[in-house]
């Protein structure tokens, strides 16, 4: 299904569990996903109150027809739908980010309070952030897997000149995509944006006003197909959850420069891969303009992460959890 790291990861896990004999169905918020036999699309237009109400009724019909033993909810909207569901079954809430409800904190706390009262089981994809809205610490940590079919290790690179900056992800405030415009203006490097989001029009306008060369592709299922060997990936986020883009980049040893925040420092890359502010981003890029390879994560770091995030290993952990949930009912 389309979407960010949460959707991509749960797709991988769901497909792997299906291969192991589990019956897995997906409920999608994207109508383009409805062509698949095990995917139900419940929203086809902009999320108005009417569309949300229709989605709720569709979800209830699906639940009563399919009668799932366990519902796994990822992100805010599925949490809401699970909290007010008439159909009762075991529910697992997967926390993908430190601020899952954004500016809707009041609604988020209300929803999570209901989920707590319903004895929902909580899973976090990383131990580096606390589960928002809960008084207790969530001990179940199951990281997101990496799709190694579409994320292959790149060959070690000879000295190459940086020719383009790349951003992968949602064009939204916390991802800080406008920051690349400032860096581009100071380094005279073009930008490839792979993704879509609320800031797309603003980014286009600023780039036009500054005379910058940018390309915005919109959503792409496998962004690595668009990356070439002279691209430098920038991830300037203010905060991150698991950051599947960062994980996949490290595994494939993609040259990268990250914002210097604890969310990224946990990957233990070299200092050259981190920058605190605009001037440091620009300084590091200019200092290594003809040595792109210095930004490539070390092979041993990539292989370690590849082992930790293997789909088989992560699916084993999910299977153990599901079995414990079903046997405890």
Does residue 127 share a domain with residue 241?
no
Q: Is residue 242 part of a domain?
A: yes
Q: How deeply is 17 buried, as exposed, middle or buried, from its count of CB atoms within 10 A (0-12, 13-18, 19+)?
A: middle
Please report, to the nearest 10 degrees, the dihedral formed by the alpha carbons of residues 278, 281, 287, 290 taken in order: -130
Most confident of 40-44, 154-158, 287-291: 287-291
Domain count along the chain: 2
Q: To the nearest whole percent, how much of the chain has pLDDT over 70?
A: 90
- Please say if the pLDDT value at position 66 is more than 80: yes
Sequence-separated (6 or more) residues with CB below 8 Å from residue 140:
121, 122, 123, 124, 321
Query: Apex CA 193: angle with CA 98 and CA 295, to 5°?
Result: 75
**222 and 299, same domain (yes or no):** yes
User: What number of other Cβ atoms are within 10 A of residue 103's Cβ?
Assistant: 9
- pLDDT tens digits along 103-152: 898 999 999 999 999 999 999 988 877 787 787 667 799 999 987 655 55
- Residues 86 and 170 both lie in one domain: no
Beta-bridge partner residues of 90: 70
Residue ranges making up the domain that contains 247: 164-307
For residue 65, is it within any domain? Answer: yes
Quote the pLDDT of residue 137. 66
Mean per-residue pLDDT over the chain, rounded: 88
- Same domain, yes or no: 118 and 175: no
Residue 30 has pLDDT above 80, yes or no: no
> CA-to-CA distance for 146 and 152, rounded, in angstroms?
10
Is there a domain that residue 283 lies in? Answer: yes
Task: Kindly write down the DSSP assignment for every residue of 292-317, as one continuous string.
Answer: GGGGSPPHHHHHHHHHHT-HHHHHHH
3 state DSSP class of 165: strand
For residue 29, is it within any domain?
Answer: yes
Do 213 and 294 sit in the same domain of this protein? yes
Which pLDDT does position 154 carry in this prediction?
56
Whether 153 maps to a domain, the answer reads: no
List beta partners, residue 141: 124
- Regarding whether 140 and 177 lie in a shared domain, the answer is no
302 shares its domain with 315: no
Q: What is the CATH number of the domain that holds 206?
A: 3.40.50.2000
> Residue 85 in contact with residue 63, Cβ under 8 Å?
yes
Does the pLDDT at position 73 exceed 80? yes
Residue 31: its pLDDT value, please? 55
Measured distance CA(247)–CA(264) in Å, rounded = 10
In a domain, 299, yes or no: yes
In a domain, 14, yes or no: yes
Pick from 3, 324, 298: nearest CA to 144: 3
Residues 72, 141: one domain?
yes
Question: What does the pLDDT read at residue 2?
Answer: 43
């Amino acid at each position: 299904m389309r979407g960010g790291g949460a959707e991509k990861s749960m797709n991988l896990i769901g497909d792997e569990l299906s291969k192991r004999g589990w019956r897995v169905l997906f409920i999608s918020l994207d109508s383009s996903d409805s062509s698949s036999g095990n995917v139900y699309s419940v929203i086809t237009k902009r999320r108005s109150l009417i569309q949300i109400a229709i989605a709720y009724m569709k979800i209830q019909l699906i639940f009563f027809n399919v009668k799932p033993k366990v519902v796994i909810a990822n992100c805010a909207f599925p949490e809401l739908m699970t909290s007010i569901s008439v159909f009762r079954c075991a529910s697992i809430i997967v926390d993908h980010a430190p601020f899952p409800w954004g500016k809707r904190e009041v609604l988020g706390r209300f929803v999570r309070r209901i989920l707590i009262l319903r004895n929902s089981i909580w899973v976090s994809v990383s131990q580096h952030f606390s589960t928002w809205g809960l008084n207790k610490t969530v001990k179940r940590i199951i990281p997101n897997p990496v799709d190694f079919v579409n994320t292959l290790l790149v060959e070690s690179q000879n000295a190459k000149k940086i020719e383009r900056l790349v951003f992968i992800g949602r064009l939204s405030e916390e991802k800080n995509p406008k920051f690349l415009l400032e860096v581009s203006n100071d380094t005279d490097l073009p930008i490839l944006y792979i993704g879509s989001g609320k800031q797309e029009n603003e980014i286009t306008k600023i780039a036009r006003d500054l005379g910058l060369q940018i390309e915005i592709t919109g959503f792409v299922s496998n962004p690595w197909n668009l990356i070439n060997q002279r691209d430098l990936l920038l991830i300037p986020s203010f905060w991150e959850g698991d950051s599947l883009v960062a994980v996949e980049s490290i595994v494939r040893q993609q040259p990268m420069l990250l914002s210097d925040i604890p969310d990224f420092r946990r990957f233990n890359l070299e200092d050259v891969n981190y920058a605190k502010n605009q001037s440091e981003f620009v300084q590091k890029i200019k200092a290594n303009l003809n040595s792109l390879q210095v930004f490539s994560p070390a092979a041993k770091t990539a292989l370690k992460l590849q082992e930790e995030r293997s789909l088989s290993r992560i699916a084993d952990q999910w299977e153990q959890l599901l079995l414990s949930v079903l046997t405890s009912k």
